[in-house]
Amino acid sequence: MNNKENIFQQILSKKIIADIIYKDDLVTAFNDKKPQSPIHVLIIPNIFIKTLNDVNHNHELVLGRMLLVASKIAKKKHINKSGYRIVINCNNHGNQTIFYLHLHLLGGRKGLKIFF
């Protein structure tokens, strides 16, 4: 698959409509169409990065912005005090299904424990 066929690229180029809730020069955030939680927001860089394994020092600003935007959205959606989860999947065994780096912001209910 080339980058132009990727669903996130199509959202950024406005070929696919998404419920965008935040956009700046580095990142875009939108509600997931198949939410796994009452609040499920995807935050993507505006530049193509295939997986977390592909980041380098040039991506530090965009990665930091992704986390900052997640925190801002959590506050805006009033889940900052009750809590939320940030998830980045990487490659097949990490359950990454869309090969474009993205962050999941999940909240609105108590999440499953994955670590003890």
Please list the active-site residues.
Answer: 102
CB-based burial, 95-108: b 16+ in 10 Å, e otherwise: ebeebbbbbbbbbb
Look at residues 62, 69, 99 and name the one whose alpha carbon lies nearest to residue 86: 69
Residue for token digits 């698959």? 1
Question: How far, rounded to the nearest angstrom, does the alpha carbon of residue 21 sit from its chain's CA centroid?
Answer: 12
